[in-house]
Amino acid sequence: MSKIDRIFCAGFGGQGVMSMGQLLAYAAMLEEKEVTWCPSYGPEMRGGEANCSVTISDERIGSPLINNDASVGVFMNGAAYNKFIGKVMPGGKVFINSDLIDAENPRTDITYYRIPVNSIATELGKIQLANMVMLGAVNDQAHLVDQDMLLEAFKKVFGAAKEKFIPINKEALAKGAEAAAKMF
Amino acid sequence: MAKVLLKGNEAVVRAAIEAGCKYFFGYPITPQNEIPEYFSKELPKIGGAFVQGESEVASINMLYGAAAAGARAMTSSSSPGIALMQEGIGYISKAEVPAVIVNMMRGGPGLGGIQPSQADYNMCVKGGSNGDYRTVVLAPGNVQELVDMVQEAFDIADQYRILCIVLADGLIGQMMEPVELRKPKERPIPAKDWALTGRNGGKTHRVYNLKLQAPDLEKDNFDLFKKYAVIEENETRYEDYMMEDAEFAFASYGTASRVVRTAVDRLREEGYKVGLVRPQTLWPFPYEAFNRPQIKKYMDIELNMGQMVDDVVLGCGDKEKVEFFGHTGGVLITVDEVCDFAKKIMGGAK
Amino acid sequence: MSVVFERSKGLTDVKTHYCPGCSHGIVHRLLAESVEEMGKLEDTICISPVGCAVLALDYFEFDGIQAAHGRAPATATGIKRVHPDKTVITYQGDGDLASIGMCEIVHAAARGEKITTIFINNGIYGMTGGQMAPTTLPGMKATTAQLGREVSLNGYPIRVAELIATLDGAKYVERVAVDSPADVIKAKAAIKKALEVQEAGLGFSFVEVLCACPTNWGKTPVDALKFVKDEMIPYYPLGVKKDTTKEGQ
Let me know if residue C15 belongs to a domain. no
Confidence (pLDDT) at B1: 63
Banded pLDDT at A160 (limits 50, 70, 90): confident
Q: Tell me: the pLDDT tens digits for B54-66?
A: 999 999 999 999 9
Contacts of A29 in chain B (CB under 8 A): 3, 5, 178
Judgement on whether residues B116 and B32 belong to the same structural domain of the protein: yes
Q: Which residue in the set B259, B264, B331 is minimally distant from A42, CB to CB?
A: B331
Q: Tell me: the pLDDT tens digits for C182-233?
A: 999 999 999 999 999 999 999 999 999 999 999 999 999 999 999 999 999 9
> Do the Cβ atoms of B265 and A62 come within 8 Å?
yes
Instruction: Determine C/A contact with 3+ CB pairs under 8 A as the test.
Output: no
Q: Count the helices and strands in chain C (H runs, E runs).
A: 12, 7
B50 strand-pairing partners: B24
Distance between C108 CA and the closest CA of chain B, angstroms: 9
In angstroms, the CA B245 to CA A34 distance is: 27
- Whole-number mean pLDDT of chain A? 93
* Statement: residue A42 has pLDDT above 90: no
- Find the residue in B nearest to C62 (Cα): B204
- For A2-36, the DSSP string reads --EEEEEEEEETTSSHHHHHHHHHHHHHHTT-EEE
Distance between C22 CA and the closest CA of chain B, angstroms: 20
Instruction: Determine A/B contact with 3+ CB pairs under 8 A as the test.
Output: yes
What does residue C45 show for φ and ψ, rounded to 5 degrees? -130, 125
CATH assignment at residue A172:
3.40.920.10
* Statement: residue C6 has pLDDT above 50: yes
CATH assignment at residue B339:
3.40.50.920
Q: Which of residues 38-77 of A touch B (CB under 8 A)?
A: 38-39, 41-42, 60-65, 67-69
Q: Which residue in the set C71, C83, C103 is minimally distant from B197, CB to CB?
A: C83
For chain A, where are the E strands, in sequence order?
4-12, 34-39, 49-57, 70-75, 88-97, 111-115
For B56-117, where are the E strands, in sequence order?
73-77, 99-105
Distance between B119 CA and the closest CA of chain A, angstroms: 16
Banded pLDDT at C249 (limits 50, 70, 90): very low
> Do the Cβ atoms of C82 and B210 come within 8 Å?
no
> Do the Cβ atoms of B332 and A39 come within 8 Å?
no
CATH assignment at residue C153:
3.40.50.970
- C58 with B205: CB under 8 angstroms? no
> For residue C48, what is the enclosing H or E element?
strand C44-48
**C17 C-beta neighbours (distance < 10 Å), count:** 14
Banded pLDDT at A161 (limits 50, 70, 90): confident
Residue B139 burial (C-beta neighbours within 10 Å; 0-12, 13-18, 19+): buried
Residue-range definition of the domain harbouring residue C126? 24-247
Q: Tell me: the pLDDT tens digits for B275-327?
A: 999 999 999 999 999 999 999 999 999 999 999 999 999 999 999 999 999 99
Chain C touching partners, 3 or more CB pairs below 8 A: B
Judgement on whether residues B143 and B106 belong to the same structural domain of the protein: yes
Judgement on whether residues B275 and B327 belong to the same structural domain of the protein: yes
A17 backbone φψ class: left, alpha, beta (φ>0; ψ -120 to 50): alpha
* Statement: residue C30 has pLDDT above 80: yes
Share of chain C above pLDDT 70, in %: 99
**Mean pLDDT in residue range B20-24:** 98
Distance between A90 CA and the closest CA of chain B, angstroms: 16
* Statement: residue B246 has pLDDT above 90: yes
**CA C229 distance to own-chain centroid:** 17
Judgement on whether residues B84 and B203 belong to the same structural domain of the protein: yes
> Do the Cβ atoms of B174 and A38 come within 8 Å?
yes
Judgement on whether residues B48 and B160 belong to the same structural domain of the protein: yes
Judgement on whether residues B328 and B227 belong to the same structural domain of the protein: no
Distance between B219 CA and the closest CA of chain A, angstroms: 46
Judgement on whether residues B173 and B62 belong to the same structural domain of the protein: yes
> Do the Cβ atoms of B54 and C107 come within 8 Å?
yes
Banded pLDDT at A40 (limits 50, 70, 90): confident
Amino acid C70 reads G
Name the domain boundary from B185, B217, B235. Answer: B235
Amino acid C54 reads V
Half-sphere exposure of B200 (CA within 13 A, CB side): 10
Residue-range definition of the domain harbouring residue A92? 4-182
Banded pLDDT at A44 (limits 50, 70, 90): low
Banded pLDDT at A47 (limits 50, 70, 90): low
Judgement on whether residues B275 and B141 belong to the same structural domain of the protein: no
Chain A touching partners, 3 or more CB pairs below 8 A: B
Number of domains in chain A: 1
- Find the residue in C nearest to B199 (Cα): C42
Q: Which residue in the set A39, A65, A69 is minimally distant from B332, CB to CB?
A: A65
Chain C contact for B210 (CB, 8 A cutoff): yes
3-class SS of residue A113: strand
Amino acid B90 reads G
Let me know if residue C17 belongs to a domain. no
3-class SS of residue B144: helix
* Statement: residue C240 has pLDDT above 70: yes
In angstroms, the CA B302 to CA B282 distance is: 13
> Do the Cβ atoms of C62 and B199 come within 8 Å?
yes
Contacts of A64 in chain B (CB under 8 A): 171, 175, 177, 258
Confidence (pLDDT) at B19: 98
Q: Which residue in the set A38, A62, A69 is minimally distant from B171, CB to CB?
A: A38
Chain B contact for A145 (CB, 8 A cutoff): no
Judgement on whether residues B226 and B254 belong to the same structural domain of the protein: no
Q: Tell me: the pLDDT tens digits for B83-139?
A: 999 999 999 999 999 999 999 999 999 999 999 999 999 999 999 999 999 999 999
User: How would you label B322-346 residue by residue, b for 16+ Cβ within 10 Å and e otherwise?
Assistant: bbbbbbbbbbbbbbebbbebbeeeb
Residue A90 burial (C-beta neighbours within 10 Å; 0-12, 13-18, 19+): exposed
Judgement on whether residues B134 and B180 belong to the same structural domain of the protein: yes
Helices B214-235 and B143-160: angle between axes, nearest 10 degrees = 140
CATH assignment at residue B188:
3.40.50.970
What does residue C132 show for φ and ψ, rounded to 5 degrees? -70, 135
In angstroms, the CA B190 to CA C215 distance is: 46
- Whole-number mean pLDDT of chain C? 97
Confidence (pLDDT) at A146: 95
Let me know if residue C16 belongs to a domain. no
Q: Tell me: the pLDDT tens digits for C180-190?
A: 999 999 999 99
Confidence (pLDDT) at A49: 85
* Statement: residue A2 has pLDDT above 80: no
Number of domains in chain B: 2
Closest to B254 (Cα-Cα) out of B328, B166, B188, B162: B166
> Do the Cβ atoms of B5 and A29 come within 8 Å?
yes
Q: Tell me: the pLDDT tens digits for A141-151?
A: 999 999 999 99
Number of domains in chain C: 1
Confidence (pLDDT) at B171: 95
Q: Tell me: the pLDDT tens digits for A15-33?
A: 999 999 999 999 999 999 9
Judgement on whether residues B38 and B96 belong to the same structural domain of the protein: yes
Residue-range definition of the domain harbouring residue B276? 238-346
Instruction: Determine C/B contact with 3+ CB pairs under 8 A as the test.
Output: yes
What does residue A94 show for φ and ψ, rounded to 5 degrees? -125, 130
Residue A1 burial (C-beta neighbours within 10 Å; 0-12, 13-18, 19+): exposed
Closest to C87 (Cα-Cα) out of C176, C229, C192, C183: C192
Q: Tell me: the pLDDT tens digits for C63-111?
A: 999 999 999 999 999 999 999 999 999 999 999 999 999 999 999 999 9
Judgement on whether residues B111 and B216 belong to the same structural domain of the protein: yes
- B63 with C69: CB under 8 angstroms? no
Confidence (pLDDT) at B197: 97
